[in-house]
Structure 1
Amino acid sequence: MPRVLLTAFEPYDRWKDNASWQALVELTNWYDGPAQLVTRRYPVDLSEMSHRLREDLHQGFDLVIHLGQAPGSAVIRLESVGLNLRSDGTPLIPNAPEAYRTALPLDAVADALKAAGIPGRVSHHAGTFLCNAALYLSQHYGQSFGMSTQSVFVHLPLTPAQVAADSQDFASMSSQLSAAAIAMTIARLTERVA
């Protein structure tokens, strides 16, 4: 049975909830799929997130799926590239590769989501904040430690409740639908790493 590390983030800034954590909790309420899931909620702090991620990766996983919310996005975004870049323009890790691109079949996952009526697409830029950092660092640490672990970052739309509580008219997706998308992603990707 493949071991999957599934991570999400705590609330930050004006958001009193985080769609990634809500979807993760929803998924764990009913998940009975083909993988052993280990879940984590990471702080919105680069140093602490990096430390905890490094410790978690040493437990040995076949697949790491990081989840984060993307205010304004109307679709599930499967992020393929992690950049060695902080939001201030400096590298996450000096003298390390500029980027890592996942070898996972994200196009096939996006096609499966769309076929199930869930909007999803492959994206090639996870930003320059913690979402990108989680993806880059999990790929870099895995390679540095000689692990076969493969990683991906999945950006989720805000939940309807988050949008209702905000002053801006963002797109939204229910936690139930986001959780279903995550389950499908796990199923498709664990076929590759099993």
Structure 2
Amino acid sequence: MKILVTGFDPFGTDKINPAIEAVKKLPDTISSAEIIKVEIPTIFNKCAEVVHQAIIDYKPDYVLDIGQAGGRSALTPERVAINFDDGRIKDNAGYQPLNQTIHADGQNAYFTQLPVKAMTQAIIEAGIPSYVSTTAGTYVCNHIMYQVQYMIDKEFPDLKAGFIHIPFLPNQVLKRPNTPCLSLADDIKGITAAIKAIVERDGKNDIEVIGGSLS
């Protein structure tokens, strides 16, 4: 089994992005699955081009995209991506979409094929806070999650994919009072646990447990 794991480069005012820092330090093999690590740009559309090429090159069974969600206090597997770009800030190419449809011939929303409840439970059992999220936002994180689902819909029907948001690192909140964070070691531990759950649930349905959130 091959799992393509991607992480975004730094964006906005931050000089570091926990997503790519964690991805780079993941083991090369997790539960017998080969882990392919790719950095992607925080740029609308360009990030999808990079992932699309990686899918062609490596032919993974799964794609797991990782992104930063400043302000969250837990690792949050995402359940759904929406066909909508609305940038709160400019991306790294200076582009800031306003109320844009990603694909005119795409579904309004796509649900992940990943076992998000099993992933969340595995992360919690590893000692890291986690919950299932039902909003990936409208910035580049939602964009890449939607784009990969669109690729599955139109081109790679056997592929399974999803997204995990992770919090700020401690050094990112030094000038952000009362903002939650997690250590890089915890990010790596949590993502590794989530990938183990993906491998363990391969070919099976997600577990049936309460896993929603109030926000």
The normalised TM-score by structure 2 is 0.83
1:115-170 superposed Cα distances (whole Å, 9 cap, x missing partner): 22210010011001110011111111022114311111100011111112x34431
* 1:104-183 → structure 2 map (5 Å cutoff): 104-164=114-174, 166-183=175-192
- The alignment status of 1:78 with 2:77, answered yes or no, reads yes
* 1:1-194 → structure 2 map (5 Å cutoff): 2-28=1-27, 33-59=31-57, 60-87=59-86, 88-164=98-174, 166-193=175-202
Write the letter of the residue equivalent to 1:23. Answer: A
**Does the CA contact (< 8 Å) of 1:26 and 1:176 recur in 2?**
no
1:77-103 superposed Cα distances (whole Å, 9 cap, x missing partner): 110101111112221011211111113
**Does the CA contact (< 8 Å) of 1:8 and 1:21 recur in 2?**
yes
Between the aligned residues of both structures, percent identity stands at 26
The alignment partner of 1:153 has SS state of strand
In the alignment, the residues of structure 1 paired with residue 200 and residue 151 of structure 2 have an alpha-carbon distance, to the nearest angstrom, of: 23
The normalised TM-score by structure 1 is 0.92
Instruction: Tell me which stretches of 4 or more aligned residues in structure 1 moved more than 6 Å.
Output: none
| Alignment gaps of 5+ in structure 2 | 87-97, 204-215
Write the letter of the residue equivalent to 1:177. Answer: D
CA apart distance, 1:33: 3.6
**Considering only aligned residues, what root-mean-square deviation do their CA atoms show, in Å?**
1.6
Higher relative contact order (CA 8 A, sep 6+): 1
In the alignment, the residues of structure 2 paired with residue 92 and residue 193 of structure 1 have an alpha-carbon distance, to the nearest angstrom, of: 29
Equivalent residue, structure 1, for 2:90 = none
**Does the CA contact (< 8 Å) of 1:62 and 1:193 recur in 2?**
no
Q: Which has the higher helix share?
A: 1
| Alignment gaps of 5+ in structure 1 | none
The number of residues matched between the two structures is 191
**Does the CA contact (< 8 Å) of 1:63 and 1:193 recur in 2?**
no
**Does the CA contact (< 8 Å) of 1:84 and 1:136 recur in 2?**
yes
